[in-house]
Amino acid sequence: MSKPKVFVTRKWPASVEAKLKALYDVTLNEDDRPLSADEFKSALQNYDAVCPTVCDSFPADVINVDNKRCKILGNFGVGYNHIDINAAKAQGLVVSNTPGVLTHSTADIAMTLLLMSARRGAEGDRLVRAKQWQGWCPTHMLSSDVTGATLGLIGFGRIAQAMAKKAHHGFGMKIVYFKPSPADEYVTDDLNATRCESIEELLQVADYVSLHCPGGEATRHLINADMLNLMKPSAHLINTARGDVVDSAALIEALKNKRIAGAGLDVYEGEPNVHEGFLTLDNVSLLPHLGSATLGTRTAMGEKVLANLAAFFAGDHLPDRVV
């Protein structure tokens, strides 16, 4: 019996690609280049499974392509707002994702950005590399305290809770959070965490605001100019969620005008394009979507996709089925 045909949109860790080759008739993206909508349509027409990443866009016009052979999108990532889920469901196209395995690596990046922004790490690195450092003095590059400060988390799922643990137990930070319903008591008791009744309330009390909500139309520009104006002038905004949760133009204005002290970003609207306004600001730390970018995590994500594909082709229950 012939092996199922599988198309992988971007390069994966070598050990996972080797397993794919052993199990399936697989086509890999050897050049690791971004693919076009027409290439995605062709893949849907010619393969039994397509494995996109969170930066590959599968809107309705791609999913609704004629003469579709593909029956499953094995998404490499936990987020799936780049896939039109309603269109996939209407077409009978199964979608799976990779939850759980990237919790700690993404929380680590959120803490990294918090520390970089608070302590002006990226700015200091640039100063030293440019040979502009004139030596130590008591008032040089004064920054913000982290230990004992208040961390506000918008969204309180696995990644937010992992960050809260690192911040509270590692840095003695006070934890406040917003989610529509209260978190489990055993979680909040461990963190001595307080639930805010609204995002607006959280923004007014937090020294650091970290975003952990899903992307999509419901949260698009959730953090806009009005929300930024509620934050303390000394506060920092951290985004490892999705780029479109933040109104980039509004954030740039807030940073330019020192309306807030700083920001740390790992995700962007329309990435890999980054708003030019960020590039000239010293009070924003920028990373290229590194949240899950450890070898161990990316390998585990690939293994999750493999498990979902294996279940699908065996006719079994998928461990991580979205639709």
Q: What is the CATH classification number for the domain harbouring 257?
A: 3.40.50.720
Residue 88 lies in a domain: yes
Residues 175 and 192 in one domain: yes
99-120 per-residue burial string, b: 16 or more CB within 10 A, e: under 16: bebbbbbbbbbbbbbbbbbbbb
Is the whole model's pTM more than 0.75, yes or no?
yes
Identify the burial level of 55 via C-beta atoms within 10 angstroms of its C-beta, where 0-12 means exposed, 13-18 middle and 19 or more buried: middle
Residues 257 and 206 occupy one common structural domain: yes
275 & 201 share domain: yes
β-sheet bridge partners, residue 177? 153, 195
Cβ within 8 Å of residue 313, ≥6 positions away: 4, 48, 49
The closest alpha carbon to 99, from 117, 115, 75, 128, belongs to 75
Residues 172 and 84 reside in one and the same domain: no
Residue 320 lies in a domain: no
Angle at 91 between CA 88 and CA 96, to 5 degrees: 35
Q: Do 127 and 273 fall into the same domain? A: yes
Residues 6+ apart with CB under 8 A from 270: 243
- End-to-end CA separation in angstroms for the chain: 28
Residues 199 and 249 in one domain: yes
Query: Is the domain of 267 the same as that of 309?
Result: no
Q: Is 271 a catalytic residue?
A: yes
Q: Domain for residue 238, yes or no?
A: yes
> What domain range is 307 assigned to?
5-101+294-314
Residue 309, in any domain of the structure: yes
Q: Exposure of 185 by Cβ count < 10 A (0-12 exposed, 13-18 middle, 19+ buried)?
A: exposed
Q: How far apart are CA 280 and CA 243, in angstroms?
A: 19
**Is 65 in the same domain as 119?**
no
Among 292, 281, 239, 277, smallest CA distance to 77 is for 292
User: What is the total count of domains within the chain?
Assistant: 2
**pLDDT by position in tens, the chain (length 323):** 799 999 999 999 999 999 999 999 999 999 999 999 999 999 999 999 999 999 999 999 999 999 999 999 999 999 999 999 999 999 999 999 999 999 999 999 999 999 999 999 999 999 999 999 999 999 999 999 999 999 999 999 999 999 999 999 999 999 999 999 999 999 999 999 999 999 999 999 999 999 999 999 999 999 999 999 999 999 999 999 999 999 999 999 999 999 999 999 999 999 999 999 999 999 999 999 999 999 999 999 999 999 999 999 999 999 999 99
Residue 64 lies in a domain: yes
**Structural domain contains residue 121:** yes
* 176 and 276 both lie in a single domain: yes
321 in any annotated domain:
no
Which listed residue (168, 195, 221, 289) is catalytic? 289
Instruction: Say if residues 78 and 127 touch (Cβ distance below 8 Å).
Output: no
- Claim to verify: residue 85 and residue 146 sit in the same structural domain: no
Q: Are residues 153 and 209 in the same domain?
A: yes
Q: Is residue 319, in this structure, part of any structural domain at all?
A: no
Annotated active-site residue in 271, 275, 303, 321: 271
Q: Say if residue 244 is in the same domain as residue 163.
A: yes
